Amino acid sequence: MKTTPEEFQALLEAPEGQNLEFKAAREKFSFDRLGEYCVALANEGGGKVLLGVTDKRPRQVVGTMAFPEPGETEAGLYAMLSHRIPVKEYFHRGTRVLIVHVPGRGLGSPWNFKGKFLKREGDSVVPMTDTDIRNIHAEEDPPDFSARACDAELDDLSQEAISAFQQGWAEKSNSTLIANLSTPQLLRDAELIIGDKITFAALILFGTREALGRYLPHCETIFEYRSSQKPGPAQERQEYREGFFLYFDKLWENVDKRNDLQSYQDRFFRHDVKTFDETSVREAVLNAVSHRDYRQEGSVFVRQYQRHVKIDSPGGFPSGITPENAIDKCKPRNRRLAESFSKAGLVERAGQGMDLMVEASVRQGKPLPDFSRSDEYSVCLTFNGTLQNPALVLFMKRLESDLSQRFTPHDFLTVHALANEQPLSEKMKDRIPALMRDGIVEHQGRGRGTRYYLSRKTYSAIGLPGTYTQRRGLDKETNKALLMRHLKDCGEMGAPMSELMQVLPSLSRNQVVSLLRSLRDDGLAFLEGERRTARWFATDSSSQDS
């Protein structure tokens, strides 16, 4: 979001259109008016409001005293509009200008200001018509941006980046023909040149810094390392505004140089696990670049902390994709980019990588990839690199030799959920029968009261048989003894069903009733009353037995 002098000069010379608004605002500017302009710009694809610049050309930088605390202005806009709108100060030869960076609205989601849907009309902000609003709500994903032709030429592409792509494609396809193609023919065969026009995909993959700055300046990936999450400058910051094939490996090298080791004990041996998994981080970066919305301003950010990596990309999930179904569905927003990654051998299947991230997290005993910070304007993926479950690492290692080839992504998710005592989704439940056949999972009870847990064989294999007993619960006779002890303590008062269920909280109501009936059949307990007044009592014979 940092504006360079060259970019600021380009803004001054640009025509005032749908994505730029200039206001002198020397002393002050109405906050509500600013909100209206933000909504109108967002509804037309996003843009910038510049305060402290006259709107008539040639434009003059007159400076502004409006909104002296940009951070408070951002917070106020968020409170009013429920959208994040960065507000940044820029000093042109010592004169203060305020630049409001307005993102484009989400697909099918118009912004409103106090209930009014707004758009630009000339120099004015006016209400949108009913037809405008209906058209937005009826929107579908636009055609592939990366397949569109741009104004770049062949000289705007880096030969080094093209050679890296060509080498990867030739090796994956085992083709000497591809290795010997001329650059123009290579790009045509890869559908990165359409007719005589360079596509945006080619620019994103191979463009020089100068070409990207000219034709797609917000196409950049920024790496930051921070030792803590406290605000302030990053300890390291690298900005990559160049063809993807020029910086992809450099980006991982930056992460890996602070990628410390964690260890776990396996009998007599200690094993090391890297905090951040290379496959997962690379797949996440590939997804961020191929799925981001290039119509929106903003950069892809890779922020590394001691135990976390956060990857943010502009644009929410493509329509139909959610954090819950991302492991099953693949819908790349920029298919031409995703196909190029697949040709070069960077991904097994174009645009897909969630299954690999999930598998790596479970195998390494780490939390699953987290999308909880995402919204309709950005996808935010967090990797927590803390080794939390060494026992699960050992279990997955034992399985790897004979079962890993048959494991699906949902098998990994199911094992992870059971190991961490988390609820099972419907798709996880669908995998239970196969896992039970393999002896990995057991169950207890029937119908709605059925409980699933990792099997005795599983916990014995990783040296934790006690955990199996704890998860499965106590055996029948021990449970009956606990109920009898409570009934004896209650004496003549007896105990209602709700109280007896507290004695065995891991069991369902039907399971507790079954145990009580068994005690009654043994002559040790009896029931008096019906429904709400029903209470269970210990028999006199049970007291004598004790």
* Token reading at 105: 């609205």
Residue 457's pLDDT is what? 76
Span of 6-20, 81-95, 185-199, 467-481 with lowest mean pLDDT: 467-481
Beta strand spans in 226-304 (E): 236-240, 261-266, 269-274, 300-304
Residue 462: what pLDDT?
Answer: 63
Residue owning tokens 């099918």: 108
Question: Which region among 44-53, 336-345, 385-394 has the lowest average model confidence (pLDDT)?
Answer: 385-394
- In this predicted structure, the answer to whether residue 325 has a pLDDT above a threshold of 90 is no
Comparing 472 with 352, the larger pLDDT belongs to 472
pLDDT interval class at 350 (50, 70, 90): very low
Better-predicted residue by pLDDT, 463 or 432: 432
- Identify which of 490, 494, 480, 481 has the alpha carbon closest to the alpha carbon of residue 526: 494
Predicted confidence band at 425 (pLDDT cuts at 50, 70, 90)?
confident
| pLDDT value, residue 320 | 72
Instruction: In whole angstroms, give the CA distance from residue 503 to residue 512.
Output: 9
Q: What is the reported pLDDT for 351? A: 44
- In sequence order, which ranges of 174-237 are alpha helices (DSSP H)? 176-179, 183-189, 200-206, 209-215
The structure tokens listed for 203 are: 């620019």
Burial class (CB in 10 A: 0-12, 13-18, 19+), 426: exposed
d(CA 336, CA 190): 9
Name the band, by pLDDT with cuts 50, 70 and 90, for residue 352. Answer: low
Query: Which of 22-31, 219-228, 264-273, 445-454 bottoms out in mean pLDDT, i.e. has the lowest?
Result: 445-454
pLDDT grade for 216, boundaries at 50, 70 and 90: very high
Reported pTM: 0.65
Contact present, 23 and 274 (Cβ < 8 Å): no
**Looking at residue 349, what is its pLDDT?**
47
Q: Which range, of 76-85, 100-109, 463-472, averages the lowest pLDDT?
A: 463-472
Structure tokens, 470 = 């704890």
Lowest-pLDDT range, 22-36, 226-240, 327-341, 367-381? 327-341
Whole-angstrom CA distances from 97 to 8, 45, 64, 144, 528 are 10, 23, 6, 36, 82
Nearest-angstrom CA–CA distance, 167 and 181: 11
Half-sphere exposure of 538 (CA within 13 A, CB side): 22
**470-523 tens-digit pLDDT:** 666 666 778 888 899 999 999 889 999 989 998 888 778 888 898 999 999 989
Going by their DSSP bridges, the two strands 300-304 and 221-225 should be labelled as parallel
Beta bridge partners of 238: 223
Q: Is the pLDDT at 405 greater than 60, yes or no? A: no
Confidence check: pLDDT of 403 > 60: no
Closest CA to 99 of 1, 229, 231, 165: 1
Q: Is the pLDDT of residue 109 over 50?
A: yes
pLDDT of residue 409 exceeding 90 = no
Share of the chain above pLDDT 90, in %: 50
> What's the average model confidence in pLDDT over 453-479?
71
Q: Is the peptide bond preceding residue 58 cis, with omega within 30 degrees of 0?
A: yes
With cut-offs at 50, 70 and 90, classify the pLDDT of residue 408: confident
Of the listed ranges 38-52, 193-207, 333-347, 467-481, the one predicted with least confidence: 467-481
- The highest-confidence range among 43-47, 136-140, 234-238, by mean pLDDT, is 234-238
Cα–Cα distance between 377 and 379 in angstroms, integer?
7
User: Does the structure show a pLDDT above 90 at 525?
Assistant: yes
Give the residue with greater pLDDT, 64 vs 137. Answer: 64
Q: What's the pLDDT band for 545 if we cut at 50, 70, 90?
A: low
Residue 454 binned pLDDT confidence (cut-offs 50, 70, 90): confident
Instruction: Supply the DSSP symbol for 533.
Output: G
423 secondary structure, DSSP code: P
* 248: amino acid identity, one letter: F
Residue 271 or residue 467, greater confidence: 271
- Share the mean pLDDT of the chain: 87
Which has the higher per-residue pLDDT, 126 or 231?
126
pLDDT tens digits, residue range 90-106? 999 999 999 999 988 87
Q: What is the share, in percent, of the chain residues with pLDDT greater than 70? A: 91
